[in-house]
Amino acid sequence: MHVSLAGITKRYGAILANDDVDLDLVPGEVVALLGENGAGKSTLMKILFGFQQADAGEIRIDGRPVVIDSPRAAAALGIGMVFQQFSLVPALTVRENLALGHRCTPWWIGRGARSFAAPVAHLRDIAPEIEPDLPVSRLAVGEMQLVELAKVLNLDAGVVILDEPTSVLTPAESERLWEQVRRIAAGGAAVVLITHKLEDVFACAQRVAVMRRGRMVATLDTSSVTPDALVRLIVGAETVTTAQPVERTADALPRAWIKNLSATTAAGAIAGVDLRIAAGEILGIAGVSGNGQQTLADAVAGLAILLAGEVIVDGETLQAPRAEMPAQSAVAYLPEQPLRNAVAPDLSVAVNLMLKRIRDLPWRSHPSQFDADARERITAFDIRPTDPRATAASLSGGNLQKLVAARELAGAPALIVACYPTMGLDLGAAAAVYEALFAHARRGAAVLWISEDLDDLLRYAHRIAVLHRGRIAGIADTAQATRRQLGAWMVGHSIDVAAEPAHA
């Protein structure tokens, strides 16, 4: 199925999201769609998937113009999409989830879904080890992604669109996904991979299309392009500065002590986590998503009820729940999924930027008084749109990350807990957030940095601890850490290393 998008133009108010964009999707080929946040990648794919209608331009399938006015119409034409936000029903089993949208499923599936084999056929191919009768809520993020992929394959899709599929995956999971992507293409489908990561491009794309500010700036064969050239295409004339690693201060005293912490939340459990972070130290936490990272972060930030242990900052014990802590909190927290965890979506950007100061406001306060203050930080962190009165819900994921970073990294926190702080950010914005984060480390703050990006962890963290099933499986100085070792800890091998206390 040869799909061609021609002259696609889409305008949102004053913003031209897509400006006369052409793109050809050829059977058997993987196209990587690259670009910064707001470059128009998602808009283009939403138009192809029927979520949005183009203002001008047309979509042809095998030369015949088609109208795609809903995702249902797209699915009928054999276009499938895997979103960043998964659309699985957590309470149902993998098999039931796959049966839900499957054409062979009768309306009365009920509990009898157990007997359906057809919906899981593709899943068996791409991930034979996923148990189809397990509830989706028990799967790791990487596994959910594969289930989503199987769901799209079940449509017999001729075009498969993947929206930043590797942003939440471990290196091993990413590799596996790349392999599946290559296989799907080899099977005759056209695959579009929306991504920020250059490694995705070189791992599995034959062709790379780069968008910038709504325009398609280049379409190239992957084999004919270097990573540097791609980066230049993505950011245009702007120069990319990468963040400077922070010098490690020798013999610094521990500033934050996460002492023997145990906690359980809906997101998972941690047990006996003991970490000491020196002043100015960046301690990276690696691990497969869903191994207790969120619980650890919540517990340290005071949002989870502790079963045991303490968090000691500057010799002072911070107790959970956070609501009972003094107003000027010593902990800055950049949680994962900012829209869910860190912003008030229907309030303005200005209000969201000063969320932590509400308690110190005078009794008579009106949101408009924060605008001037907000403008400053909006500029400093390049948050778009720049209107301080825009609602937080109208911001893209990347800009929400910037908003939360702008708020939490203001002031002088003693301990910073950052979860995937650059997820969904383009290279330039990620460097800016890292810079802001590391500036606090230079100042002497203790940084607990949860990430799944081993490259960044190895580049910037001073030590890396690996979380596996809620416990610290191992901890190593970055200088001595190897990917093999970290990878082994991630899957729980040589867990005995954790038995030795590993403190700063």
Partner 1 sequence: MRDLMLSGPGRVVGTTLAVLMLTGAFFLAIGRDPVELMGLIVRSAAGDGYAITESLVRATPILLCALATALPARLGLITVGAEGQLYFGALLGTGFVLANLGATSAAPYMAMIVVAMLAGAAWALLPAVLRSHLGVNETISTLLVNYVAALLVTWVVYGPWKSAANLGWPATADFPEAFKPSTFFDSRVHSGLWIAIGLAVLLHWTFVRTRWGLTLDVLRSNPRAGIAAGLNWRRNVLLTMALGGMLAGLAGILETASIQGRLQANLSAGAGLSGFLVAWLARNHCLRIIPMSLLVGALLASGDGLQMFANVPSSIALVVQGLLFVAVLLVGGYANRLQVRRG
Distance CA 204, CA 221 (A): 12
Candidates 344, 411, 442, 482: give the one binding partner 1 (CB under 8 A): 344
Non-local (6+) Cβ contacts of 439 within 8 A are 409
Cα angle: 216, vertex 39, 236; to 5 degrees = 70
Query: What are 191's strand-pairing partners?
Result: 30, 160
Distance CA 349, CA 394 (A): 9
Q: Which of residues 313-342 bind partner 1 (CB under 8 A)?
A: 321-323, 325, 327, 329, 333, 335, 340-342
Q: Which is nearer to partner 1, 110 or 326 (CB)?
A: 326
Q: Which is nearer to partner 1, 156 or 346 (CB)?
A: 346
- Token pair in block for residue 470: 């809620």
- Token pair in block for residue 420: 């995937």
Q: How far apart are the first and last CA of the chain?
A: 58
Q: Which stretch binds partner 1 (CB under 8 A): 154-162, 195-203, 362-370, 477-485?
A: 362-370
- Token pair in block for residue 162: 């993947």
State the minimum distance, in angstroms, from the CB of residue 13 to partner 1: 11
Q: Which is nearer to partner 1, 301 or 473 (CB)?
A: 301
Q: Which is nearer to partner 1, 325 or 458 (CB)?
A: 325
Candidates 39, 149, 210, 343: give the one binding partner 1 (CB under 8 A): 343
State the minimum distance, in angstroms, from the CB of residue 327 to partner 1: 6
State the minimum distance, in angstroms, from the CB of residue 342 to partner 1: 5
Q: Which of residues 256-315 bind partner 1 (CB under 8 A)?
A: 301, 303
Q: Which stretch binds partner 1 (CB under 8 A): 192-200, 219-227, 365-373, 487-495?
A: 365-373
Q: Are 74 and 49 in contact (CB under 8 A)?
A: yes
Residue 14 contacts partner 1 per CB under 8 A: no
Q: Are 3 and 60 in contact (CB under 8 A)?
A: yes
DSSP assignment of 378-398: HHHTT-SS--TTSBGGGS-HH
Q: Which stretch binds partner 1 (CB under 8 A): 32-40, 266-274, 355-363, 469-477?
A: 355-363
Residue 410 contacts partner 1 per CB under 8 A: no
Residue 367 contacts partner 1 per CB under 8 A: yes
Q: Are 82 and 113 in contact (CB under 8 A)?
A: no
Candidates 186, 229, 307, 361: give the one binding partner 1 (CB under 8 A): 361
State the minimum distance, in angstroms, from the CB of residue 25 to partner 1: 24
State the minimum distance, in angstroms, from the CB of residue 339 to partner 1: 9
Q: Are 281 and 462 in contact (CB under 8 A)?
A: yes
Distance CA 66, CA 69 (A): 10
**Nearest partner of 193 among 183, 204, 59, judged by Cα:** 204
Q: Which of residues 24-83 bind partner 1 (CB under 8 A)?
A: 52
Q: Which is nearer to partner 1, 242 or 264 (CB)?
A: 264
Q: How many residues bind partner 1 (CB under 8 A)?
A: 32
Distance CA 266, CA 86 (A): 18
Tracing tokens 């897509």 back to the chain, one arrives at 18
**Binding residues vs partner 1 (CB under 8 A):** 12, 52, 301, 303, 321-323, 325, 327, 329, 333, 335, 340-347, 351, 355-356, 358-359, 361-367
